Structure 1
Amino acid sequence: MGAAARGLAAALLLSGPLWAGEVTITSAHGDLTLTGRIAGYDGTYLEIESPHGPVTLAYAGVTCAGDDCPPRDGYVPTLRLSGEPVLSTLLLPALLTGYARDTGLTLKTGPEVDAATPYILQDKGGKTLLTVRLRAGSSAEAFADLMTFETDIALTYRAANAGEIARAAEVGLDIGPSSDRSLILGGEALVAITSPRNPQRTIDPAALIAAFAGRITDWQSLGQEPQPLTLHLGPAEDGQVEAFLALLPRPPGAEITHHATAGDLAAAVAADPGALGITPLRATGVAQPLGLRDSCGLTMVPRLAGLKTQDYPLTTLAFAIVRSHRQPDVVRDLLRWLRSPAAQLIVRRAGLSDQGIAPIPLDDQGERIAHAVAIAGPDTSLRDLQAMVSLMLDHVRISLTFRFANGTTDLDVASAANLRTFALAIRNGAYAGRDILLIGFSDAEGEADANRDLSAARALSVESALLTLLGTLPSDVRIGTRGFGEALPMGCDDTSWGRRMNRRVEVWVGD
């Protein structure tokens, strides 16, 4: 991020949280007293922390003591957001502008107390409906703000890690993979970059991991003349950097130079023929981006379809994680609007891939089908490949894809969010009269028969989770499942991300 954007981020920092102090809630008859911080308030119901987790009470039926008690009359809700500067100070204002335009509201900005610059949504009569406050910071800081009641929505470039999930659970907040609090705003590609004076134009993902893990230290290992390899990344606290480092062995084991901004990173890499860096695709600057080509011969390019399906292995997702479901009507409406085509268009204009469901015709998948045939092992028969392609000929793949932890049928955070998107689309009639086929695939670790069974079980688990969300499947929608195990790899199994790409359930839709 450049100096101007960082200056904007600094200008938007809040002087303090809206609900950070404790309040004491007492029931009308005095037989119930709770002391804690307010987790959410929608103008009618109050959610307050307690030793047993959040408790929701009708505000009209209790008394409230403390400086942070919401006013009884003239209440104007404030939505607090914190997180990555690109999301909180660049994408979010554009989304707020679009929401105001689409709903007939007016969005006003201007200096307020303590030099903060909130966004104010007003109706046509000039009545303030919502004040929005932003705090720019890292993904880690945004998660911390959720746990300390200092933000309502965290804007992050990664899912919560195990430590954050555990700490959140201590305050009654579920932000784990199965939580329904996460909304995906969009996706962004990371790319490897070198100096234009470096002859490298593609790199094996396994070699990229090995370099940042400290196992490759010279370009000679990549087929070049001897030359020391130097490593470069953005700020250590940046969510995208954290997401990439999570792919490495712990600890990484290599000396890495971290740069304050993406511009500084690209300039430093471009000036050093021995440099290798990782940066967002939008910020390559004068550096040379590298394609990913694995040892199995599959080239991975950060195209829109690959970002939507997350088949491109260096896809980072932008999450909006909501602290409490107890939100004012205008906030709930804003969150619903974020799924709309108008919102997705704004996301694309901001340089991210949107999360709208898109078809991917079979004609656009020739390379990966040919790749599957070319590298099929002895445990993948011609009959398996013929059965798989026969099904695909009668269907069209859509961009929703579901992925899992190794050896499990547990959806990851992004896949759980995709499942909610899919359920909503089915409920809204997007697939009325259509045949939906969930096709499971696995990596190649372990026995082929077991992997085929596991891929089928994953497809069934997605179907079960989908039906749980829907309650009742519309009578004009049909769902089936199949599992083809190792038959259609998206990458080599020699890296953790290659194996993760292969462990998936794809969605194919027919007539």
Structure 2
Amino acid sequence: MTLKRAAAFAALFLFTLTGFAQAQDVTLTSPDGQVELSGTLLGFDGEFYRLETVYGELTVDGSGVNCEGPACPNLQDFVAELSISGSATMGSVLMPALIEGFALRHGFRTERTSIGPTRFTYSLFNESSGKLAAEFQFRVTNTDEGFADLLANEADIVMALREIRPGERQRAREAGMGDMTQANRSRVLSLDAVVPIVSASNPVRSISPRQLAEVFAGRITNWVDLGGPDAPIDLHMLGADTGLGQAVEDQVLKPVNLSLSDTVLHHARGADLAQTVSKHPFAIGIASYAETGNAQVLTLKGTCGFSLQAARRTIKTEDYPLTAPMFLYIPARRLPKVGRDFLGYTRGPSAQILIRRAGFVDQAPEEVSIADQGNRFANAITTAGPEISLEELQRMTRTLTGMARLTTSFRFEAGSIRLDAQSRSNVQQLARALEIGKYDARRILFVGFSDGDGAAKANRDIALRRAEAVQRAVIAAAETANLDRLSLGVDAFGEALPMACDDSEWGRQANRRVEVWVR
């Protein structure tokens, strides 16, 4: 085969990646026998071969070639394989529940096989024929290990409790896996939160974000400084290499330039952490909202009187400031059809029900009537400064009366106009709802709010621009929606409806948001 002909043949291939298989040499030959390509078989998804060749890594349509070699798959009894690695919090409960639900809906029977302390496989059999159709191979460790497996080409999907780091993102791009921050490369599967926990016998019931940071930095060492007994504070959290441990560093300590104390006792599992804290009256831990066990969750308080309790609704809206989205990262490779079907299933309403039943926070939008938000409006009146006039509060009330707030909110990365990870996922979610006509014949209003740092008029202008930016992003993502069937609008009320105190970065971050209201 000449180099020119080989180059022409290679140009017909899609430069994407596929499934996961044992690497052996094979030869792919065109039906007329005029063109052949040899290389190491990296994977076959039932439709496409993935080869490492002298031309680089190529994906070849299996319908147009014949495969020769010991690694060539059995096309009639093909078994799809999907390798999933990362967070044990997600892999131990949430993902198995979703696979069971997916199998039930698509006519598969499941069989789980444990391979070791960190590995297990879900086998899916066709109910009608009894044949093995797919294997989901799990390695449950932590987020760092998941990304390491991805970069080593040993995982098709990463389960992560944090966003991909810049270094990991760069290495993935260099390996041909695409930009892992794009909408089609990452998605928020469900929501979690970082919550402080104590024993039910501990009299302390609230703590400020600043105090929480100072406790875990070793600045506050006695419960008496938190309104509790005169006793030393014992610190507990998950390992620093876990996604939740890294979320503590990013969301609790870094905003106030503090470092984690070396007296912290680290735990391998969230259940062990919660159990230990619940049994020791002088212990405090930072845990996953989904894994608090019998421990008491502390309310986050502010000096201005606001308090924020971690609950399903406050986590879903990100009103609770220490939210922790649970991600799936998918490289730019073609997954087997059963894998693509599974990922599609995770976005649907059936999956959202399973996510709630598993103890996590789903992403199904809910409507909260204005009657259920009396405390928010009471706080707005109580905390209104001299720059927030009665007329502005009345305008806000008139505008929103008769509408309901969606739990789908939009917030921005600290010091940036870029939407945060959960909000980028919310753009896609709301866009899909518009495409299927969920809000046809209704009015949707994107309402911008700000923190109170600066002049009220400038804050309202900034909030309005953010609301307009969110509306543009949703419209751009809703490519097939008929926008003539509904009414879209924007408004802003600046600092008129705060969620938290403005005396901390956590509070200001919670106050900078775009809400979605519907009528």
**What's 1:222 paired with?**
226
Secondary structure of 1:418's counterpart equals helix
Identify the match of residue 507 of structure 2 among 464, 475, 498.
498
CA distance in structure 2 between the aligned counterparts of 1:228 and 1:59, rounded to whole angstroms = 66
Residue number among 79, 82, 86 corresponding to 2:85 in the alignment: 82
Using the alignment, how far apart are the partners of 2:36 and 2:488 within structure 1?
Answer: 49
> Judging changes above 3 Å, is the alpha-carbon distance between structure 1 residues 491 and 163 closer, same or farther for their aligned structure 2 residues?
farther
Aligned partners of 2:229, 2:120: CA distance in 1, in Å? 54
- Match of 1:79, SS state, is strand
| SS state at 1:409 partner | coil
Given that 2:431 and 2:477 are in contact with CA atoms closer than 8 Å, whether structure 1 keeps it comes out as: yes
* Residue 254, structure 1, aligned to residue 261, structure 2: yes
Q: Give the one of 350, 361, 375 matched to 1:342.
A: 350
State the secondary structure of the residue aligned to 1:479: strand
Aligned to 2:9: none
Distance 1:215 1:379, change over 3 A: farther
Distance, in Å, in 2 between the alignment partners of 1:260 and 1:42 is 35
Whether 1:141 and 2:145 are equivalent positions in the alignment is yes
| Structure 2 contact 29–67 (Cα < 8 Å) conserved | no
- Is the CA contact 2:448–2:491 (under 8 Å) kept in the aligned structure 1? yes
Contact 1:267 1:286 in 2 (8 A): yes
Report the more deviating stretch, 18-27 or 475-484. Answer: 18-27
**Is the CA contact 2:162–2:247 (under 8 Å) kept in the aligned structure 1?**
yes
Is the CA contact (8 Å cut-off) linking 2:20 and 2:44 kept in structure 1?
Answer: no
Separation in 2, partners of 1:99, 1:141: 26
Whole-Å separation in 2 of the counterparts to 1:34 and 1:447: 67
Residue number among 471, 487, 490 corresponding to 1:478 in the alignment: 487
Compared with structure 1, are the counterparts of its residues 36 and 172 closer, same or farther at alpha carbon in structure 2 (3 Å cutoff)? farther
Q: Name which of structure 1's ranges 346-355 and 83-92 shifts more when overlaid on structure 2.
A: 83-92
Matched, 1:488 2:497: yes
Question: Quick one: distance in 2 between partners of 1:32 and 1:379?
Answer: 75
Tell me which moved more, 162-171 or 151-160. Answer: 162-171
Name the residue aligned to 1:236: 240
Once residues 324 and 463 of structure 2 are traced to their aligned partners in structure 1, the CA distance between those partners, rounded to angstroms, is: 25
Return the letter of the residue paired with 2:365: I
| Alignment-derived partner of residue 205 in structure 1 | 209
- The worse-fitting range, judged by mean Cα deviation, of 501-510 and 114-123 is 114-123
Q: Distance in 1 between matches of 2:439 and 2:186?
A: 24
CA distance in 2 between partners of 1:134 and 1:151 (Å)? 9
1:293 to 295, 301, 304: 301
Distance 1:489 1:51 in 2: 60
Equivalent residue, structure 2, for 1:363: 371
Corresponding residue for residue 180 of structure 1: 184
Q: Give the deviation of 1:338 after TM superposition.
A: 1.5
Q: 2: CA distance between counterparts of 1:57 and 1:99?
A: 29
1:343 Cα deviation from its structure 2 partner: 1.6
Aligned length: 493
Is the Cα contact below 8 Å between 2:218 and 2:261 reproduced in 1?
Answer: yes
Mapped partners of 1:368, 1:195: distance in 2: 30
Find the counterpart in structure 2 of residue 9 from structure 1: none
User: Structure 1 residues 129 and 202 mapped into 2: Cα distance closer, same or farther (>3 Å)?
Assistant: same
1:27-66 deviations in whole A, cap 9, x for unaligned? 969999897885x754334567899998654344568899
Go from structure 1 to structure 2 and tell me whether the alpha carbon gap of 1:121 and 1:392 turns closer, same or farther (over 3 Å shift): farther
Change (3 A) 1:317 1:287: same
Counterpart of 2:234, as a letter, is: T
Identity of aligned residues (%): 37
Letter of the structure 2 residue corresponding to residue 217 of structure 1: T
Q: After superposition, where does 1:363-442 map in structure 2 within 5 Å?
A: 363-442=371-450
Task: Check whether the contact 1:152–1:324 (CA below 8 A) recurs between aligned residues.
Answer: no
Q: What's the C-alpha RMSD, in Å, of the aligned pairs?
A: 3.4
Asked if the contact 1:206–1:494 (Cα under 8 Å) also holds between the matched residues in 2, the reply is no
Question: Quick one: distance in 2 between partners of 1:499 and 1:70?
Answer: 56
Q: Deviations over 1:379-427 (max 9, x none)?
A: 3332322222222113211111111123433112211111111111111
Relative to the length of structure 2, the TM-score reads: 0.84
Alpha carbons of structure 1 residues 224 and 92: separation in structure 2 relative to 1, 3 Å: closer
**1:420-451: per-residue Cα shift (whole Å, max 9, x none)?**
11111111111111111111222233443333
Instruction: Give 1:187 shift.
Output: 2.0
Cα gap change, 1:62/1:503 in structure 2, threshold over 3 Å: closer, same or farther? farther
Letter in 1 for 2:345: W
Aligned partner (choices 97, 101, 106) of residue 103 of structure 1: 106
Cα distance in 2 for partners of 1:267, 1:110 equals 28
State the Cα distance separating 1:350 from its structure 2 match: 0.8
What per-residue deviation string (whole Å, max 9, x for no partner) do you get for residues 164-192 of structure 1? 22322222334554433223222234431
> For 1:400, what is the secondary structure of its paired residue?
coil
Q: 268-277 or 307-316: which moved more?
A: 268-277
Contact 1:84 1:139 in 2 (8 A): yes
Asked if the contact 1:230–1:276 (Cα under 8 Å) also holds between the matched residues in 2, the reply is yes
> TM-score, length-normalised on structure 1?
0.85
> Are positions 1:279 and 2:283 aligned together?
no
Q: Distance in 2 between matches of 1:244 and 1:465?
A: 30
Would the alpha carbon gap of residues 198 and 88 (structure 1) be closer, same or farther in structure 2, given more than 3 Å must change? Answer: closer
What secondary structure sits across from 2:409 in the alignment? strand
Match of 1:507 in 2: 516
1:110-149 aligned at under 5 Å gives the runs 110=113, 117-149=121-153
The partner residue of 1:195 within 191, 199, 210 is: 199
For the 8 Å contact 2:85–2:159, the answer to whether it is kept is yes
Larger Rg: 2
Evaluate the alpha carbon distance shift between residue 135 and residue 209 of structure 1 in structure 2; reply closer, same or farther with a 3 A threshold: same
> Alignment partner of 1:246: what SS?
helix
Q: CA deviation at 1:142?
A: 1.2
| Distance verdict in 2 for CA 1:117–1:488, change over 3 Å | same
Consecutive unaligned residues of structure 2, counting only runs of 5 or more, are 1-18
Range moving further from structure 2, 240-249 or 42-51: 42-51
CA–CA distance in structure 1, aligned partners of residues 108 and 489 of structure 2: 44
The residue type paired with residue 444 of structure 2 is I
Ranges in structure 1 where 5+ consecutive residues have no aligned partner: 1-16
What letter corresponds to residue 195 of structure 1 in structure 2?
S
